[in-house]
Amino acid sequence: DYVMAVGMVAYSTSVLLLSQRGNTDRLCIRVAVLASMCMMSVAAGGICHQTYTTVESRNSLSFRILWSLCVGAIPLGNIWMGCCASEILRKLQSERLCSSAFEKLPIIPESFWYIYGLCGFSFTALGGISHQRPACDLFVAAVTQAPPSYYMMAVLIFLDHPKISYNVRIWGLVGLNCHIPLLPLYPMLVQYTDWSLGAINTLLHTWLAVSWALQAYCLYRIIQSMMIQPTQK
């Protein structure tokens, strides 16, 4: 958890260094905040796993606050994933260099993503999720990532732009999809193997880290491509 948190801090810093006023600044801020939500989730989760080891300790206010931040960072991250996709559409559609299919994709207003994410966070913070079973809480919250993730996938699938390579789009799509097996994989590993929970969590965190890294690479390269002056297709 802590290693992933440090990685997200380093990544968000590197993204902000690419910010150019009036060009990449909007996307850079959204990507950096998205990475910060990932950092907050794993950092708070690490503290909870390390410190609150009994049922009695998990009934405390401090645990509820930390776990609300850990799990609630997922629906809050939905805001910024959706906003990133909307911003990529807005920016690249304005250059008129993409395919007709990409040009026809609707730009979902960022206000929608704010409402969607804040509703999910409120549900979490008000006790809608158990606050007792960490993996279950996270998997339930992760299901809410589907709308912004599928929207980002649609953007990458139709993103036929001369400045963005096919490989970048593929790695982004792989990153968005490769964490999907974690939901059925976790209970199967718990029930049908003799692995310890520590070993299972290490595997799943490593898997998640790879997923995040691929998504981060894709968004980073898209930002870099925006720094190149557009030319006629």
DSSP 2-34: HHHHHHHHHHHHHHHTT--TTTTHHHHHHHHHH
pLDDT higher than threshold 70 for residue 131 = no
Looking at every residue in the chain, the average pLDDT score rounds to 89
Structure-model confidence comparison of residues 127 and 215, the more confident one = 215
Q: Report which DSSP code applies to 94.
A: T
Report pLDDT for 123: 87
Contact 96, 127 (CB under 8 A): no
Q: Give exposure, 88-122, as e/b (b: 16+ Cβ within 10 Å).
A: bbebbbeeebbeeebeebeebebeebbebbeebbe
pLDDT higher than threshold 80 for residue 33 = yes
Report pLDDT for 229: 67
For 49-59, what is each residue's pLDDT tens digit? 888 878 788 78
Structure-model confidence comparison of residues 118 and 142, the more confident one = 118
Q: What is the dihedral of CA 97, 99, 211, 144, to 10 degrees?
A: 110
User: In the structure, what pLDDT confidence band is assigned to residue 135 with cuts at 50, 70 and 90?
Assistant: low
pLDDT higher than threshold 50 for residue 233 = no
For 207-219, what is each residue's pLDDT tens digit? 989 999 999 999 9
CA distance linking residue 192 with residue 184, whole number of Å: 12
Structure-model confidence comparison of residues 31 and 160, the more confident one = 31
CA distance linking residue 129 with residue 108, whole number of Å: 28
Report pLDDT for 210: 93
CA distance linking residue 225 with residue 97, whole number of Å: 13
Q: Report which DSSP code applies to 233.
A: -
User: In the structure, what pLDDT confidence band is assigned to residue 230 with cuts at 50, 70 and 90?
Assistant: low
Mean predicted confidence (pLDDT) in 146-162: 92
Report pLDDT for 52: 83
SS3 category, 218: helix
